[in-house]
Amino acid sequence: MKKITTILIIFISGVFNLRAQDDAAELAKKLSNPIASLISVPFQNNTDYGIGPHNGTRNTMNIQPVVPISISENWNLIGRVILPVITQYNVYGEGSKQNGLSDAVVSGFFSPKASKNGLTWGAGPVLLIPTGTEELLTTKKFGVGPTAVVLKQMNGWTMGALANQIWSVAGSSDRADVSQMFLQPFVTYNWKSGAGLGANMELTQNWQSSDTTIWLNPTVSGLTSLGTQKVSLAIGPRFNLAAPDGAKADWGWRAVVIFLFPK
């Protein structure tokens, strides 16, 4: 009888462990998809060192809530906000400091609810909103343009790219117009435990000044719980591959905490 009880306990524990792995794997899969049907609130912190001739330092906390809204039987609207909070020293001169909000980027992706053969896509408008609280942290321009994302998921892999183009349409006449493209190719591999290894490249092209900025961001990630709250954690180095003259950083690092609200 004891043997049978022991076998049953082992079997039940195995079932729950497999279910937990399945849940973690599914959450990790959705996290790798920027337009998944998953409410999440990421806090992405980037710290960069050795910026420009004055060896400046910049810390950028990106608050990035993502909210999917069902608009029909077959379509979702994925709302995504990126609100940067920046503190920087010696970037615009020896002894200089700027601290506050930068401009917000708000995106809306219309995306089919069902993927085909692991292929998912979304497209819609992107807005630039001048929420910056410091002269050197804002464009003082309202902008608008298109955004799109496409990705393929299979056997634990997620590969894809996100892009947008913003043109200024209103704002301060004392500031330069905005014409800027952002391109972010990404690749991630997730294990069934929810752990992941990935990288993305963030390319920003300023068409007005003909400047290009490129960051490479490899990360390791994992899933955990704080009580009943599901949380994803990620960390990794940052490499500044290209930047305008006098603005390149020596190196940096990224740490991300994402609060998850699965349905």
What is the total count of domains within the chain?
1
**Sequence letter at residue 231:** V
* Domain ranges, residue 167: 2-261
**Mean pLDDT of residues grouped by 10 in the chain (263 residues)?**
44 36 72 86 97 96 96 95 98 94 98 91 98 96 98 95 98 95 97 93 97 98 91 97 94 96 79
DSSP conformation letters of 49-75: EEETTTTEEEEEEEE--EEEEE-SSSE
pLDDT for 17: 37
User: DSSP for the chain?
Assistant: -HHHHHHHHHHHHHHHHHHHHHHHHHHHHHHT-TT-S-EEEEEEEEEEEEETTTTEEEEEEEE--EEEEE-SSSEEEEEEEEEEEEEEESSSSTT-EEEEE--EEEEEEEEESS-BTTEEEEEEEEEEE----SGGG---EEEEEEEEEEEEEETTEEEEEEEEEEEEEEE-TTS---EEEEEEEEEEEE-TTS-EEEEEEEEEEETTTTEEEEEEEEEEEEEEEETTEEEEEEEEEEEEEE-STT---SEEEEEEEEEEE--
d(CA 188, CA 186): 7
CATH label of the domain that carries residue 23: 2.40.160.40
